A and B are shown apart, each in its own frame.
Chain A
Amino acid sequence: MKTLRRNFLKIAAVAVLGWGVRPASQLLASGGGAEPSEGLLFASRHSVHAGPNALSAKRWAMVIDTAKLNEKVMEEIQHVCHTLHNVPNIPGKQNIKWIWETHMEHLFLEDLHEYQPEAGAKSALALCNHCDNPPCVRVCPTKATFQREDGIVMMDFHRCIGCRYCMAGCPYGSRSFNFMDPRPYIETTTPDFPTRTKGVVEKCEFCAERLAEGKMPACVEVSEGALTFGDLADPESEVRKLLAERFSIRRSPTLGTKPCVYYLV
């Protein structure tokens, strides 16, 4: 009995030590220029090291002018985004979408009433809101989804374990899970962007890979002026001007997620 207890204590002590030492050693071994911007335990905002050509902002945000959206534009946006990011076209309920068209009444459950013209047949685009207070990041057990200092909520496909907690946490249905190998469902593969593998979650990343190269998000480029992207912290930015001039709403603001996609109605 005594040995049992002693062994138990020993094992427990080693386990506790091992657990504590690993992150600590990682912190100490952070030489080589790249300070770990990942929080030691709790999720923290990741700093962005923008290169010389990159577009950067304090707080990225998007403004969608619903009046300028029509079927053609929305289809084009969806097509460009999904092609560029190798989003598979899977039929059925295990599908994957980064940006998609849906009815205004689904987007704004509590903000519209039946006598508004917007509430009728009109539809708009839904995508990840890149919330300032993202529940998906809060619930992720591996920090596979994380937030950058400029507000973009990113996915680390290498780290995701596929628990889908983030999908339960997201109140906007912005996340998709790879129930199967997506490759057979990709019509034309864009070599510069990875496909995903079965068993990970994915979503819109505000084209972080394009911002790093100095390009605007793909959806904005082809939106014929319906989508505007810019720095919310800069009063002179295009998005701030639009928000100052026009009436705008956000999806389910009462949930406290602070979405950063604004809709002009």
Chain B
Amino acid sequence: MLEKAINGSKVYWGWIAFLLLLMSIGAACYWQQLSHGLTITGMSRDVTWGFYIAQFTFLVGVAASAVMLVIPKYLHDYHKFAKILILGEFNAVAMVILCLLFIVADLGSPQRLMNVLLHPTPNSVLFWDMVVLNGYLLINILVGWVTLEAERKQIAPPKWIKFFIYLSIPWAVSIHTVTAFLYCGLPGRGYWLTAVLAARFLASAFAAGPAFLILVTYIAKIFTGFDPGKGVLPTLGKTVVYAMCVNLFLLLCEVFTVFYSQIPSHMAHLQYLFVGYHGHGVLVPWMWSAMIMAVVGILILIVPKNRQQDNLLIIGCLLIFIGAWIDKGLGMIGGGFVPNPLHEITEYVPSQLELGVSLGIYATGFLVLTILYKVAIGVKQEVE
């Protein structure tokens, strides 16, 4: 089936060439990082994780979103989702690859990466994150490929694949839960030390992920004429808006707990993010933009009529996606480290080289996504 990826239009090849260009820029930046160390990033002794780990955290959520298609299709027999199911699965593959690349990019000594396997340590949540992420990657490659191959041959998929499809449901929940556990089990980091973190991660994931899927499906529709089927995207939009409501609700729960209890070490981080703390607040405009985007996105998409209109659906999804990205891809990590446990303030802003590396990684992920979608949509159109 891979041959579908090497037969494409000029636009297709142009896009691939563009991605390769971005990837080489990223590689050049990464080369700088390899030779000079992580000093080329904006990270510091106080803010030890930055843009890379934040992107990883956010993208785990986008990857987990495939389950929002799998559950309706396989547990509720909602067959309308059958057609875009493969897009969800292949999206998960690309996103998990992105996650893994961001983790490797963040390592100080990537040449020793395999120490995690050589000296497996189950008391570390990072060990479990490695297990669940790689597992989710394999499950989605397997399920996606096998079902697509069956579709191409116009036969029913083999029965054993059902096992992996059902397995992918709890597994998707696990990847984001374990990723939240990376943070929420640490003493002395008030912003993360909350049981609601995993739930919030899942809620924002099930908003941002399907929003991303909707947007990508529209792009695929423009360039390939791929038709997701009538009413499919508006239905998925319903998932997006409900999940975002839950996310916002959980955030408000957090705000109440923190500010009514008045515990300083918990309040400091939210203060830093939303109003600034002792005169420091690079993230304040970002966080308020995120909140406004989330609320406007919800107001648009909560109205069923709006979801039926392509333009409003796209705008709503875009707002919610960007809002969730700022919240998790900038605020979640930066906010957790500022102020540090000694209540000293060192702010973090990613460096240009750091963003360059991230750009290259994103391009790699989108290359994988493009190729997989080309194959999937190619097969679908061949069958029709």
| A→B interface (CB under 8 Å) | 1, 4-5, 8, 19, 22-23, 38, 41-43, 92-97, 102, 106-107, 109, 126, 135, 138-144, 159-165, 167-173, 176-181, 198-201, 252, 255-257
Q: A42-B123, A143-B121 are in contact. Are A162 and B108 (CB under 8 A)?
A: yes
Q: Total contacts A to B, CB within 8 angstroms?
A: 166
22 contacts between A and B (CB under 8 A): A1-B149, A95-B45, A126-B342, A139-B124, A139-B126, A141-B116, A142-B115, A142-B121, A161-B112, A162-B107, A162-B112, A163-B108, A163-B126, A165-B124, A165-B182, A171-B188, A176-B45, A179-B38, A179-B43, A180-B36, A199-B37, A256-B187
Q: Which of B123-176 contact A (CB under 8 A)?
A: 123-127, 130, 142, 146, 149-150, 158, 160
How many Å lie between the Cα of A177 and that of B337 in the bound state? 15
| A141 in contact with B186 given A42-B123, A161-B107, A198-B108 (CB within 8 Å) | no
- For the residues of B in contact with A, the DSSP-based class is loop
- Are B158 and A5 touching (Cβ within 8 A)? yes
Chain B residues packing against A (C-beta within 8 Å): 36-39, 41, 43-46, 48-49, 106-110, 112-113, 115-127, 130, 142, 146, 149-150, 158, 160, 182-183, 185-189, 264-265, 336-337, 340-344, 346
CB-defined contacts of A38 to chain B, threshold 8 Å? 119
Whether A255 pairs with B37 at a CB distance below 8 angstroms is: no
- In the assembled complex, the Cα of A170 lies from the Cα of B45 at a distance in Å of 12
Name which residue of chain B comes closest to A8, CB basis. Answer: B142
- Which of chain B's residues have a CB closer than 8 A to the CB of A23? 120
A165 surroundings in chain B (CB, below 8 A):
124, 126, 182
A93 — which chain B residues lie within 8 A by C-beta? 44-46, 346
Given contacts A162-B109, A167-B48, contact A135 B186 (CB under 8 A): yes
**Which listed residue (A135, A164, A179, A180) contacts B49, Cβ 8 A?**
A164
Question: Do residues B121 and A171 form an inter-chain contact, with CB atoms below 8 A?
Answer: no
Cβ-neighbour of A161 out of B46, B116, B149, B150 (below 8 A): B116
Contacts of B124 in A (CB 8 A): 138-141, 165
In whole angstroms, how far apart are the Cα atoms of A103 and B262 in the complex?
24
Contacts of B183 in A (CB 8 A): 168
A179 x B37 contact (CB < 8 A): yes
For B120, the chain A residues whose CB sits under 8 A away are 19, 23, 41
Question: Is the CB–CB distance between B112 and A178 below 8 Å?
Answer: no
Q: Say yes or no: A168 contacts B112, CB within 8 Å.
A: no
Contact across chains for B45 and A94 when beta carbons are under 8 A apart = yes
A168-B121 CB under 8 A given contacts A139-B186, A141-B126: no
Asked whether B46 lies within 8 Å of A141 as measured between CB atoms, the reply is: no
Contact of A41 with B187 in the complex, beta carbons under 8 Å: no
Return the chain A residue nearest B127 by Cβ. A141
B158 to chain A, nearest CB (A): 6
- Cα A89 to Cα B185 in complex, Å, equals 33
- Known contacts A140-B121, A160-B109, A161-B108: A168-B160 contact under CB 8 Å: no
